[in-house]
Amino acid sequence: MEHQPARSEYKKVWSALSTTEEQARLHVIGVTEEAALEATGQETLKFLQESVGIGKEDVVLEIGCGIGRVGKVVAPLCQKWIGCDVAANMLSLTAQRLKDLPNVELVEISGYNLSSVVDASVDVVYCTVVFMHLEPWDRYNYVLEAFRVLRPNGRVYVDNINLCSDGGWKVFEDHRAFSPANRPPHITHNSTPQEIETYLRRAGFSDVQLRTDDDWVRASGIKAP
Ligand SMILES: C[S@@+](CC[C@H](N)C(=O)[O-])C[C@H]1O[C@@H](n2cnc3c(N)ncnc32)[C@H](O)[C@@H]1O
């Protein structure tokens, strides 16, 4: 097998996974057809609405926005949608797909922080289908960064596949079949609900809520004033 970048070399890993639009779509959510992509975006929007809510005055920031799967349905509902991603290829595809939306800003980030986003400037930060590709320390770094960039009363949402669910355990077992030398750097690492809850609490979020009614853990919290 040819030499692979380390998992934490996110820019290298994800630039290589998004060299064509088809590859990018497949690695984002496993579907290529636009209608299917939009349907999954609506599903994620439903979870956001039921946890953090999206209001028309809100500045909303997504960490790891991919090709704007979720941004396409969130941006029309808020004041500004900021899509951040480590891969320039992903951001170019988002720019094309969302070109008719006037309130979209795209930011290429290092993969470890939101350093170009100013403190207390955002109302909602969310990060979906990204934590499974990150090292645990980088998950927590993003939770800390979310706390920093949120305004008082700002809301955060993060998710991962739940290791403690039957579906999450199946993913774990399937991936155990890879020999250590052949594990792809972006291979899914699930989270326990306790891991995600701990990050939100340790970062300072209040009113931490966990949803575990399917194979996912979905967590939200508020930055108390
Ligand atoms: C599976 S895709 C999900 C994209 C999008 N959140 C969605 O749900 O459609 C993972 C995305 O996270 C991005 N990503 C990976 N590592 C990252 C990191 N360390 N920081 C920011 N983005 C990252 C990838 O480039 C990719 O666009």
For residue 13, count CB atoms less than 10 angstroms from its CB and return exposed for 0-12, middle for 13-18, buried for 19 or more: buried
Confidence at residue 120, expressed as pLDDT on a 0 to 100 scale: 98
Residue among 133, 144, 189 to mutate when testing ligand 1 (max atoms within 8 A of CB) = 133
Helix spans in 17-56 (H):
21-29, 34-51
- Phi, psi torsion values for 177, nearest 5 degrees: -70, -20
C-alpha of residue 161 to centroid of ligand 1, in Å:
15
Which residues form ligand 1's pocket by a CB distance below 6 Å?
10, 14, 27-29, 63-66, 69-70, 85-87, 90, 109, 111, 128-130, 133-134, 138
Residues 173-189, mean pLDDT to the nearest whole number: 95
Instruction: Assign 2 a pLDDT band (cuts: 50, 70, 90).
Output: low
How close is the Cα of 172 to the center of ligand 1, in Å? 20
- Check the CA dihedral 40-205-172-25 and report its sign: positive
User: Could you tell me the distance, in angstroms and rounded to a whole number, from the CA of residue 62 to the centre of ligand 1?
Assistant: 9
* Residue 52 CA to ligand 1 centre (angstroms): 20
Task: Say what the pLDDT of residue 3 is.
Answer: 78
Query: What is the arithmetic mean of pLDDT over 185-209?
Result: 98
